[in-house]
Structure 1
Amino acid sequence: MRIVPLQDNDVAAVIGLWETCGLTRPWNDPAQDLALARKSADSVVLVARDGVGVCGTAMTGFDGHRGWVYYLAVHPDARHRGVGRALMTAAETWLADRGAPKIQLMVREDNVDALGFYEALGMSRQAVVTLGRRLD
């Protein structure tokens, strides 16, 4: 397995992976999310490849204050092989290289498997409330 930045010919496979993993929502356009991340120097979409093709992703960005990870996805057939851990390590390295002092991510509170995964990586729940509203 190798981890590289997203290429043009990966877009359809990445969106398909996100759909397979249940990461997409009707109110978020994954193609638009990819396009926005790709045009910013402060973000990268990392792609894990195995012998078959795209098996994982992590969208990573640095807002100048902290690093963020979105769309961490591992194909169900590639889980429990270290792909997610390798993607998180690559994301942390990318962020550290840019001076990010902290990494954060958001997980839906009912996603018990993801919460367990991140806690096993040494991440802990933060005492914050996420607020938001749509601007589009």
Structure 2
Amino acid sequence: MTKNQSASDIHFRDAVAADRDAVTALWAACGLTRPWNDAAADFDRALSGPSSTVLVGICADAVIASAMVGDDGHRGTVYYVSVAPKQQGTDLGRRLMAAAEDWLRARGAGKINLLVRNENARAAGFYEALGYDVEPNTQLGKWLTPR
């Protein structure tokens, strides 16, 4: 978004395959990628089925925000929430999460789960301000592929 553009110039839509490079570059710029995760494969997989997508925020034909959303039939999950660094601190993140919640609500998800890395207190504060609670759960994981 430039100085001559406003928040009303941004619209949200489901990503298409042609958005992959811009979206994965945004994820990298926001520090969301890790060497053991193939971001392009994650993007492709999200677009390959009816229960997930990547939502993108578009301004002047550029991807400036994105969130991967999925519905497992019981709960919704949000991943890779990203806002272009120059747009962080605006209401774009809030609007992106509202779009993700709407997408999941339309599919009948009654609850949303998301993960925040322990070192990312800023993100945790953002989600708490949106009404998300830190839950008394322990997350367990097992790698099925080599790291």
User: What TM-score bracket applies, with the shorter chain setting the length?
Assistant: over 0.9
| 1:1-136 pair list within 5 angstroms | 1-51=10-60, 53-136=62-145
Q: Which has the larger radius of gyration?
A: 2
Which one-letter code corresponds to 2:132 in the other structure? M
Structure 2 distance, partners of 1:7, 1:40, is 12
Structure 2 distance, partners of 1:32, 1:56, is 19
**Residue correspondences, number:** 136
Which one-letter code corresponds to 1:112 in the other structure? A
5+ residue gaps, structure 1, are none
Structure 2 distance, partners of 1:4, 1:66, is 21
Identity of aligned residues (%): 47
Structure 2 distance, partners of 1:39, 1:52, is 23
Distance apart, 1:60 and its partner CA: 0.4
- Return closer, same or farther for 1:52/1:40 CA change in 2, 3 Å cut-off: closer
Q: TM-score, normalised by structure 1?
A: 0.96
Which one-letter code corresponds to 2:51 in the other structure? D
What do the CA deviations read for 1:12-58 (whole angstroms, capped 9, x no partner)? 01111011000000100001101111111100100001126111100
